[in-house]
Amino acid sequence: MPNGLITYQEILSQPEAWEAALKMLKAERTTGEAIDPARQYEQIMYTGCGSSYYLALAAAALTQALTGRSCRAFPASELWLYPASAYTASKTLLVAASRSGETTETLRACQAFLSDRRGDLLTLSCYGEMPLAKLGTFNLVFPSGQESSVAQTRALSTLYLATVALACLWSGRLDLFDALARLPEAGRRILAQALPLAKEIGPDASLERFYWLGSGPRYGLACELSLKMKEMSLSHSEPFHFMEFRHGPKSMVTPASLVIGLRSTANRSSESAVLEEMKGMGGRTLELAEADAPFQFKTGLDEAIQNVLYLPVGQLIAFERARSKGLDPDRPTNLDSVVKLS
């Protein structure tokens, strides 16, 4: 089997996984609406490990923006080992995401949360037979996100899409919830559009550093795509908020740098200006956005629900970078698909 074939197939199959997940969420809509955090909880906490923690960052930002309810994100290990720095005395909804459903830190954080009677637990995972899927007050399982690779791609985007759908329900934005059905077709088109771009950027040996910029709900996604670049290709890669990149990190920009912007529509002028400044300093840039960018989604969808589309583009770039370096994306160096502690 050629190196990376499993990961490649999992990246390309994401639209089908999203379709299945959205079908399930539509069937479970009553359950999602019944959770109703705006009435039942003082705060919403998202948690996970690795990719799932970056999902938590993105989900917390979007959920707070849509619902107006206080939302935060923490690595599961922080909730487990340092709960006093995370929780308040308020009743909390803890949303725990895990591809495998058996990551030790996530399980221990959830068990401690329940033991301390801090509130209710909602779990999101891909394997219904695993411990996490049986632990929550509410448990949602998305088999379409299951994957064999070590580096998360299909699972991450599917679980993230579930948090977007829940945020739409919790905010009463049923128009956005219904519009999610258009994402799979948009995803197929964007994957086709991204394939030649990734084959151009990935093998470019003149690039030595990758910087991923994203703000608001896109910062967590920038972190995730930076992680994919590290995991798959062992490349120097870092994520930053757009405007924060000017405050020191820009000193690292050289002609061997690629600064990739996950640009918003609402703050186009401010974020594009950062990329232009980096270009003026000799760096190379790639701007991804709904419109008015070198790489455009052109979906017509509300900005709140289209962010998942950034993920396949960045995943393919990381994949092609790994292949060009003779690495096997299916078997990242020093990594296991699940971290289990004794």
Question: d(Cα 250, Cα 257) in Å, to the nearest integer?
Answer: 10
Question: d(Cα 139, Cα 128) in Å, to the nearest integer?
Answer: 9
Task: Measure Cα distances from 8 to 2, 11, 16, 149 in Å.
Answer: 10, 5, 14, 9
SS3 state of residue 144: helix
Question: In the predicted model, what is the mean pLDDT of residues 185-202?
Answer: 98
SS3 state of residue 127: coil
Q: Does domain 183-324 have CATH number 3.30.420.270?
A: no
Q: What is the pTM of this model?
A: 0.96
The predicted structure's pLDDT at residue 38: 81
Question: d(Cα 233, Cα 319) in Å, to the nearest integer?
Answer: 7
User: What H or E segment, with its residue span, contains residue 247?
Assistant: none
335: confidence class by pLDDT, cuts 50, 70, 90: low
Q: Please, what CATH class does the domain formed by 5-172 belong to?
A: alpha beta
Question: In the predicted model, what is the mean pLDDT of residues 63-91?
Answer: 94
Tokens of 17: 């996984």
Question: In the predicted model, what is the mean pLDDT of residues 19-48?
Answer: 92
Sign of CA dihedral 143, 23, 188, 219: negative
> Over the stretch 267-277, which tens digit does the pLDDT of each residue have?
999 999 999 99
Taking phi over 0 as left and psi of -120 to 50 as alpha, with beta for the rest, 264 belongs to beta
> Over the stretch 93-112, which tens digit does the pLDDT of each residue have?
999 999 999 999 999 999 99
Question: d(Cα 327, Cα 150) in Å, to the nearest integer?
Answer: 14
| pLDDT higher than 60, residue 1 | no
- The CATH 3.40.50.10490 domain(s) of the chain lie at 5-172, 183-324
> Over the stretch 311-322, which tens digit does the pLDDT of each residue have?
999 999 999 999
Query: How many C-beta neighbours within 10 Å does residue 196 have?
Result: 10
Question: d(Cα 8, Cα 337) in Å, to the nearest integer?
Answer: 16
What percent of the chain shows pLDDT beyond 90? Answer: 90
> Over the stretch 219-266, which tens digit does the pLDDT of each residue have?
999 999 999 999 999 999 999 999 999 999 999 999 999 999 999 999
**Which strand ranges, in their side-by-side order, compose the sheet holding 209-213?**
236-240, 209-213, 257-262, 284-289, 295-296
195: confidence class by pLDDT, cuts 50, 70, 90: very high
Question: d(Cα 9, Cα 5) in Å, to the nearest integer?
Answer: 6
34: confidence class by pLDDT, cuts 50, 70, 90: confident
